[in-house]
Amino acid sequence: MVFHEIYGTYYQTVSDILKEAVQGEITAEKIRRIIRDRAFEESSITIPQALTDQWHILTSDGRTPIRHVPRLPLTDLQKMWMKALLLDPRIRLFDPPQDELEDVDPLFEPDFFFCYDRYSDGDPFEEEEYIEHFRLVLLALREKRKMEIVFRGKQGRHRQVYIPDRLEYSSKDDKFRLAAHTEGHVPYMINLARIRQIALLEEVKPDEAEAPPEKKDMVIMELTDERNSLERAMLHFSDLEKETVKLDDLHYRITLSYRREDETELLIRILSFGPTIKVTAPDSFIRLIRQRLNKQKSYGLK
């Protein structure tokens, strides 16, 4: 049962309060702080009083009959879900213990899910060299260490020292990419499958750690709600930062924010909506659409 109070924020908050109470002294101030850090905006109205008057867990002077720091055993759902993870080659990259959860059956088999529009040239998750590189990248991120990476990019072979920022996975591409920057603060996205060699180096110094800011652009478009295009567009672009304003019953203005490196991808995503979406700004983006339309014109309008 995925919607159950044992996973809830109130139970977790009370568990944290009891941990403090069991280990030492709990004060009204500590309770307020735990609620503020753990729970919802208005929980501080409910929880402090309920602990004593309704739930009978903590006395008004901070005593509790609970003797141990609360620990929640794994539920069957959690065990079955973890067991199902072990069947997935992407999860095995992280090297979770394979010999645990022995008597548990998986919640689902991998082929119960089918990503029908996923690209078919995903990363080779089961190749030895790829696994080795993946684990080194993960270690570098975990330990905040620099790496010397040799990889094959669009402009040939690169060898450079990189400071890792994050590991990005795309479900559509089925690929991992390392977001990193050089010591000179130049950002890079490196496909893990293109890495040829990695050497772990020293720890990143605090003044080198910060990732350079991402360059973002905006596109503004007008949508005409025909053929269910409103719902389709709202879903399709919901991975991006967006704002939608209703202009009238049929028309909507959508503002999308995107990363410059994704411009071509966004262009074809917008084209896929045909005439139900019209880009209204910026001019540079309109020009890109017009170029494609004009090129198409040379093949005739049938």
Residue 27 vs 171, nearer CB to other proteins: 171
Compute CA 57 distance to the chain's CA centroid, rounded to the nearest angstrom: 37
Candidate list 30, 33, 48, 57; residue touching other proteins; CB under 8 A:
57
To other proteins, the closest distance from the beta carbon of 30 in angstroms equals 17
Query: Binding marks (x or -) toward other proteins, 76..95, rule CB under 8 A?
Result: xxxxxxx-xx--x-xx--xx
Half-sphere exposure of 205 (CA within 13 A, CB side): 4
Residue 131 CB contacts under 8 Å (≥ 6 apart), including other chains = 93, 125
User: Which string of DSSP letters, residue by residue, matches 222-238?
Assistant: EEE--TTHHHHHHHHTT
131 binds other proteins (CB under 8 A): no
206 binds other proteins (CB under 8 A): no
Candidate list 28, 55, 129, 210; residue touching other proteins; CB under 8 A:
55
- Stretch of 29-37, 119-127, 180-188, 196-204 lying at the interface with other proteins (CB under 8 A): 119-127
Candidate list 46, 160, 182, 191; residue touching other proteins; CB under 8 A:
46
Cα 89 to Cα 124: distance, rounded to the nearest angstrom: 9
Candidate list 30, 33, 48, 75; residue touching other proteins; CB under 8 A:
75
Number of residues that bind other proteins (CB under 8 A): 128
> What one-letter code names the amino acid at 296?
Q
To other proteins, the closest distance from the beta carbon of 277 in angstroms equals 10
Which tokens belong to 50?
């309920």
Q: What is the dihedral of CA 62, 64, 67, 69, to 10 degrees?
A: -60
Candidate list 155, 184, 213, 235; residue touching other proteins; CB under 8 A:
235
Cα 51 to Cα 172: distance, rounded to the nearest angstrom: 47
